[in-house]
Structure 1
Amino acid sequence: MMLALAQMMRRELSLANRRRADLANPLFFFLIVVSLFPIGVTPDLEKLSEMAPGVLWVAALLASLLSLDLLFRHDYEDGSLEQMLLSSVPPQLLVLCKILSHWLVTGLPLTLLSPLLSVMLALPGSALPLLMLTLALGTLTLSLLGSIGAALTVGLRKGGLLLTILIMPLFVPVIIFGTSAIQAFVNGMPWVAQLSLLGAIAAGAFVVSPWLTVAALDVTVGD
């Protein structure tokens, strides 16, 4: 089973490497949105510093959504998704491999890019480790929860908008806790509680999402 999971992860990363344009789109979106924000809103560094956590978080999560619709679509179109569900390996583990690979090629690069872009928004340097930690947890949670919506809309030709509508209500608490943790840290207020809640949501999604995703795939692929 471990060999099958390792092969699955290698396959996903290899396929992602072949679709480099799809991987570059979220990064360019993130870069453009954050770069244009000081121009379109205000050049005042003090105001930008106050808005920086929310801007970085919302831009990163919207960028992650750009590639979420493709999580299962290519496998659905070539028939490999159905074979994955019929495999002797538990499909929940295979789905988890796809989710983690999606995060590695989208959420993790966005997290690593965030310190560079935070300079444009005058975010204090002391807040960068917490920013990266919260974004890592937040983008991972988006990949986990988003896999459920991607599974429900994989059979639709233009399911991107519906996917966004399904995902965003679930993700509102993650945005609230992520941004409030950074703002509390910058203002010298307690921030551990917000980070703990964010981690709890990520852990809960890690446990529940693969099962719900497989259930959704059974419905969509079976139909």
Structure 2
Amino acid sequence: MTALFLRDIKLAIRAGGGALIGVLFFMTVVAVIPFGVGPDLNLLSRIGPAILWIGALLSALLGLDRLFQAEREDGSLDLLLMQENPLVLTVFVKCLAHWVANGLPLVIASPVLGLFMNMNEVAIGATLITLLVGSPALTFIGAAGAAVAVSLPRGGLLVSILVLPLAIPVLIFGVSATYAAVEDPAPFLPPFMILTAITLLFAVIGPFAASMALKSSSD
């Protein structure tokens, strides 16, 4: 499992820039917002957390279609299906590697982009924490969509269509927790705990659904 984890991180970084493309797209989404809403710093600070979350969500979708595509192309997917280790555990490890290579750089870049949106320290810290906790859920959700579309020649768009509706609760509670922390630290805990529960739930459901889809595609 450790070898698979390290291998997937290396492949994710080498494949088309990996984390760099995601961060650049994240920066692009955030950078164009002031041109659309105007240079009102108060408005930018109010909508900043939501914009960062939306940008992170869209950036996370970029590499999801490649989660199992490399194994499908070189034939190693069949080896993963036939190995002794449970397929659910293998998918879970691949999801973790994908998040480290693609999701974690977005979390690290969020404070810098928060300054660009004129967010204060509390808003930047709350956004960082909620993205750190909530962004893995996007990967686990995307694993199921990537497994469904792995056998299709152009499954990238299908993955986005499958993932976006399921990712809405993550977006809602992530943004809600951030705004709660900015307005009053007391209400921060309930939406943050729900966000944590959603991530833990999809950490179980996502790999299981992805493993079932991979088995079905191989039949």
Q: TM-score range by the shorter chain?
A: over 0.9
Structure 1 unaligned segments of length 5 or more: list them.
none
Structure 1, 184-193 or 69-78: larger mean CA deviation: 184-193
Q: Determine the structure 2 residue equivalent to 1:10.
A: 6
Q: 1:178 is aligned with what amino acid?
A: G
1:61 is matched with which residue?
57
1:168 is matched with 164
TM-score by length of 2: 0.95
Alignment of structure 1 residues 113-124 onto 2, 5 Å: 113-124=109-120
Q: 1:182 and 1:175 mapped to 2: Cα distance? A: 11
Q: Report the Cα offset of residue 128 of structure 1.
A: 2.2
Cα distance in 2 for residues equivalent to 1:107 and 1:22: 10
Which of 17, 22, 30 in structure 1 is aligned with 2:18? 22
SS of residue matched to 1:122: coil
The number of residue pairs the alignment matches comes to 218
Q: 2:80 maps to which residue?
A: 84
**In 1, Cα distance between the equivalents of 2:35 and 2:140?**
34
The TM-score with structure 1 as length reference comes to 0.94
Distance 1:16 1:167 in 2: 20
Could you tell me which of 190, 214, 219 is aligned with 2:216?
219
Aligned pair in 2 of structure 1 residues 160, 20: CA closer, same or farther (>3 Å)? closer
Deviation at 1:76, TM superposition (A): 0.6
Structure 2 unaligned spans of 5+: none
For 1:1-223, what aligned pairs fall within 5 Å after superposition?
Answer: 5-19=1-15, 21-188=17-184, 190-222=187-219
Tell me, in whole angstroms, the C-alpha distance in 1 between the residues paired with 2:4 and 2:126: 32
- Residue deviations 1:56-108 (CA, integer Å, cap 9, x gap): 00001100100111100111111101110100111111111110000001110
Q: In 2, Cα distance between the equivalents of 1:148 and 1:31?
A: 27
Alpha-carbon distance, 1:28 to partner: 0.7
* Whole-Å separation in 1 of the counterparts to 2:102 and 2:46: 26
Q: CA deviation at 1:16?
A: 2.4
Deviation at residue 221 of structure 1 after TM alignment: 2.4
Task: Please say if residues 65 and 150 of structure 2, whose CA atoms lie closer than 8 Å, have aligned partners that are also in contact.
Answer: yes
Tell me which moved more, 44-53 or 204-213. Answer: 204-213
Q: Deviations over 1:128-170 (max 9, x none)?
A: 2221111122210000011000000011111111111111111
SS of 1:21's equivalent in the other structure is coil
Cα displacement (A) at 1:210: 1.4
